[in-house]
Amino acid sequence: MKIIKKNVFEGLVDELIENDEREIIGVQSKDSKYVFDRLEKAEGLELDYDVTILPPKKYFMPQRETLVEYETREGLEMEPVNEVIPRIIIGIHPYDLEAIKQMDKVFADSPKDSNYLEKRENSVLIGVNMQQTSDWSFAGSMGTATVDDGYDLMLTDLGKKYAVEIGSSKGSDLLEKISEDVRDASPEEIDKVEKAKEEIKDEFDKELDFSPQKLPSLLADTYDQDDFWEENAEDCYSCGTCNIVCPTCYCFDVQDFSDISLEEGERMRQWDGCMLEAFAEVAGGENFREERAERYRHRYMRKGRYLYNRFGDIACVGCGRCSSQCVPDIADPTDIFNKLWRGKDE
């Protein structure tokens, strides 16, 4: 573990903004909320935030992107497209780092998604341990309040200085730029970091009543409780917001857009969400999750069971974004999972 003064870190960020070819992204406040956005100056960084509106996945899987451009003038010619902007992203909380790790696995699975993977390879992730928690978060219950890996550098605020853990050669290359101002952490400073990490785990207002490892079997056992799913989905607007803000939701829709001559066009993908009515509609107009309650159940099954069965991770990192943004307040995973847990023996 290393120690750097805050003004040295800010100097490094300003120097990167000024002279590095990569785009520098950082957490900033906007209309009393927090967002990941392009940084103009290091002083704009807000590293003691609670949660951002959207997770940093938007940099690896943009809301809308072109995958292929094509021409048909002399037979079909297709050109793959991937707009990769190398970036350094500063201020990622541990639960979002865990979500990125999960997305890395999903997109590296066969067939590999090079549009996502190349953007990830060209990014540097600077994490920060939480100083405050969102009222909706339950990362403490999901084991994502702290992480041991998934970052290139990890900062912990120690007053006028940061403790810095190095997670990769990309991270150590960055620190190399200020090597004269970097020193080893003392045993007391290492203890302080460990204590801060332990303490944050108890700072969450929301929690699961049971171990998240029990979710896959709980959800398998409660899949057929139609009355439960219908009752809880009753007020759902099918707006898809809970999908859009989630760091582990990655579904997309692919569409072709041709010009009027049909001689050229592009294939694009854009974010989609399983809570939207048309998500499961297929050719011929058939919809295999036509009912709101089916879509509502599917989202929870996917978070706590389906992706676990496929990739070995519970696909909810407890950020609380879904519940904080749901207008009828019916998207809180702790609420639904705890109700299912309490009712399982009835």
Distances (CA, A) of 208 to 116, 138, 216, 279: 32, 7, 14, 29
**Among 106-114, 158-166, 232-240, 281-289, the segment contacting ligand SF4 (CB under 6 A):** 232-240
Q: Which two tokens stand for residue 81?
A: 């497209």
Q: Which two tokens stand for residue 136?
A: 């909706």
Question: What string of DSSP letters covers 78-113?
Answer: EEE------EEEEEE-HHHHHHHHHHHHHHHSSSP-
The pairing of beta strand 264-271 with beta strand 252-258: antiparallel
240 near ligand SF4, rule: CB under 6 A: yes
State which of residues 236, 274, 293, 340 lies at the interface with ligand SF4 (CB under 6 A): 236
241 near ligand SF4, rule: CB under 6 A: yes
CA distance 201 to 175: 28
Sheet strands (E) in 197-285:
252-258, 264-271
State which of residues 82, 122, 168, 238 lies at the interface with ligand SF4 (CB under 6 A): 238
| Contact string (CB under 6 A) for ligand SF4, positions 246-265, x = contact | xxx-----------------
**Among 24-32, 182-190, 194-202, 326-334, the segment contacting ligand SF4 (CB under 6 A):** 326-334
301 near ligand SF4, rule: CB under 6 A: no
State which of residues 303, 304, 307, 314 lies at the interface with ligand SF4 (CB under 6 A): 303
**Among 20-28, 216-224, 245-253, 261-269, the segment contacting ligand SF4 (CB under 6 A):** 245-253
Q: Which is nearer to ligand SF4, 13 or 317 (CB)?
A: 317
Q: How many CB atoms lie within 10 A of CB 89?
A: 24
- List contacts with ligand SF4 (CB under 6 A): 236-242, 245-248, 275, 303, 316-322, 326-328, 330-331, 333
